[in-house]
Structure 1
């Protein structure tokens, strides 16, 4: 299970939502073996005056937060980061300098999904990759 939040300046982010969502999900499927139908993305387009970031970044600056069940290996998470930086750059021409990604992992029992604690769900995919 993974939930993804994407933040950016609305004038830039709104133009690329569909493509960015597809890029992110392709990386999740490859690096973490997330099934194709498990795509949970939320976009937060922000007014410029509400989105402060360090100098050296452009208005393409994008923050990606990934919340997921714990259990993936360090190697799988590093592969995910690598793929995200590469594909966002190649498919959307956004420099890795303008991308920040944070992965938040929590135990399954801290999730509530479809009326059950996450550790009581029968998943059709593996988490320990």
Structure 2
């Protein structure tokens, strides 16, 4: 049950936004083996001056940050697969690899609440340790 945030430095059409969200979700399904219907993704679009990425003003308006909050326990290989999947799928949508930043934040399942109980007490429907 990863929760993801895609942050971009420009406006996209609604169809392009859906494609970005779908690409991030497909990457999580492929790399972390989460269920297809496990979708918790949001997209925030900023004017370039509101999202500084260390480059010269006006440069690289395609800069994209993907932040994924997830349960701890995935292997380094699963994480490598996730980073590769994200880079490959977003490149198809015009986001160059050097314009992509990925932040993976892990928490123990007891630190997430689901239905009023810790996620560690719930059948998640998928395996965390992949």
TM-score, length-normalised on structure 1? 0.92
Secondary structure (helix, strand or coil) at the match of 1:37 reads coil
Mapped partners of 1:16, 1:51: distance in 2: 19
Mapped partners of 1:3, 1:115: distance in 2: 17
Alignment of 1:1-129 (within 5 A): 1-12=1-12, 16-55=16-55, 58-90=60-92, 92-129=93-130
Secondary structure (helix, strand or coil) at the match of 2:88 reads helix
Q: Deviations over 1:48-98 (max 9, x none)?
A: 2211111175101010000000111000011110111111112x0210011
Count matched residues. Answer: 128
Q: What CA RMSD, in Å, does the superposition of the two structures yield over aligned residues?
A: 1.6
Secondary structure (helix, strand or coil) at the match of 1:11 reads coil
1:15 is displaced (CA, Å) by 6.0
1:14 is displaced (CA, Å) by 5.7
Does the aligned pair in 2 maintain the 1:13–1:60 contact within 8 Å? no
1:16 is displaced (CA, Å) by 2.2
Q: Deviations over 1:2-38 (max 9, x none)?
A: 0001111242486621001111111111111010000
Secondary structure (helix, strand or coil) at the match of 1:93 reads coil
Please list every run of 5 or more consecutive structure 1 residues that lacks an aligned counterpart in the other structure.
Answer: none
TM-score, length-normalised on structure 2? 0.91
Q: Which has the higher helix share?
A: 1
Does the aligned pair in 2 maintain the 1:61–1:98 contact within 8 Å? yes
